[in-house]
């Protein structure tokens, strides 16, 4: 299906986000973590560079989760019965999300660690 207008394109994109929100528990977990991290960054008064790094890191994890959801849907469509290659595709896609989440934790430690350490050790 091709969008006839830019607004229709946005509608399709928001429909995809709604679908992922309704069906993917991990996306809701990422959302809760995102909210907590953004609040903490605000309390710690992150500068523009730290905010930029944080936003890009959050976007990376969310994009990986959305890509994983899309790939799983395509695999389910093309392989309705269990197949070793379908499993590999799904497992590798889940591994991508895990890798991005681990990277996000490491970035978070670099961004939040010094400020939190300073607060805990005055």
Q: Which residues are catalytic?
A: 65
The stretches of the chain forming alpha helices (DSSP H) are: 6-23, 25-43, 48-78, 84-120
CA distance 50 to 108: 10
CA angle 31, 15, 5 (to 5 degrees): 130
Residues 6+ apart with CB under 8 A from 62: 27, 30, 34
């Amino acid at each position: 299906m091709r969008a006839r207008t830019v607004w229709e394109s946005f509608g399709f994109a928001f429909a995809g986000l709604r679908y992922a929100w309704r069906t993917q528990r991990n996306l809701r977990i990422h959302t809760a973590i995102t909210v907590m991290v953004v609040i903490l960054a605000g309390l710690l008064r992150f500068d523009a560079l730290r905010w930029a790094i944080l936003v890009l890191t959050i976007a990376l994890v969310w994009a990986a989760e959305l890509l994983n959801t899309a790939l799983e849907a395509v695999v389910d469509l093309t392989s309705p019965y269990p197949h070793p290659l379908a499993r590999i595709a799904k497992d590798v896609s889940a591994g991508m999300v895990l890798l991005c989440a681990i990277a996000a934790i490491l970035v978070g430690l670099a961004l939040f660690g010094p400020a939190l350490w300073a607060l805990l050790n005055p």
